[in-house]
């Protein structure tokens, strides 16, 4: 079993705005993954930040400490992305391409997606979403 962690969960954790990721880590024995798209989203934010070197070191340390593996965008993920995009367009339920690629990655690799944006990602049929902690 594995969890694909969305950028919102990681960013909130790194900024100490949420303990959702801590909840996941303590309650789950799953392997942790991020999509290369999530990596790019976080790297973009880091490079635009006030202190990119410090923030990059913090992020890299976080990834190493939790042994988070990066899942690449490949042909299988691309095929799933295209099929889902067409299916959702027919239903009038469009998603941003990056989010759809992240969802396609989770589906293709049989991973559960840990995201705070449940409403958004629940549009993807068959996608398993990690439950949020109750307050």
d(CA 95, CA 64): 31
Q: What is the pLDDT along the chain (135 residues), one digit of tens a residue?
A: 799 999 999 998 888 887 788 877 776 667 999 999 999 999 999 999 999 999 999 999 999 988 999 999 999 999 999 999 999 999 999 899 999 999 999 999 999 999 999 988 999 999 999 877 655
Instruction: Show the domains of the chain with their CATH numbers.
Output: 2-121 (3.40.50.1010)
* Distance separating alpha carbons of residues 67 and 130, to the nearest angstrom: 19
Task: Please name every residue paired with 35 in a beta bridge, in sequence order, or none if there are none.
Answer: 71
Long-range contacts of 129-135 (CB under 8 A, 24+ apart): 130/3, 130/24, 130/28, 132/20, 133/19, 133/20, 133/23
What's the pTM? 0.91
Rg (CA), the chain: 15
Beta strands in 77-126 (DSSP E): 112-114
Q: What is the pLDDT of residue 103?
A: 97
């Amino acid at each position: 079993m594995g969890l694909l962690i969305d950028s919102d969960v990681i960013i909130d954790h790194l900024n100490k705005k949420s303990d959702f990721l801590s909840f996941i880590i303590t309650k789950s024995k799953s392997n942790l993954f991020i999509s290369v798209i999530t990596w790019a989203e976080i790297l973009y934010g880091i490079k635009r930040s006030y202190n990119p070197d410090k923030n990059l070191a913090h992020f890299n340390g976080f990834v190493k400490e939790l042994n988070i593996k990066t899942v690449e965008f490949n042909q299988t993920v691309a095929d799933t992305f295209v099929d889902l995009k067409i299916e959702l367009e027919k239903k009038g339920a469009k998603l941003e391409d990056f989010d759809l690629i992240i969802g396609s990655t989770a589906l293709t690799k049989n991973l559960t997606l840990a995201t705070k944006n449940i409403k958004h990602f629940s549009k993807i049929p068959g996608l398993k979403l990690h439950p949020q902690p109750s307050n």
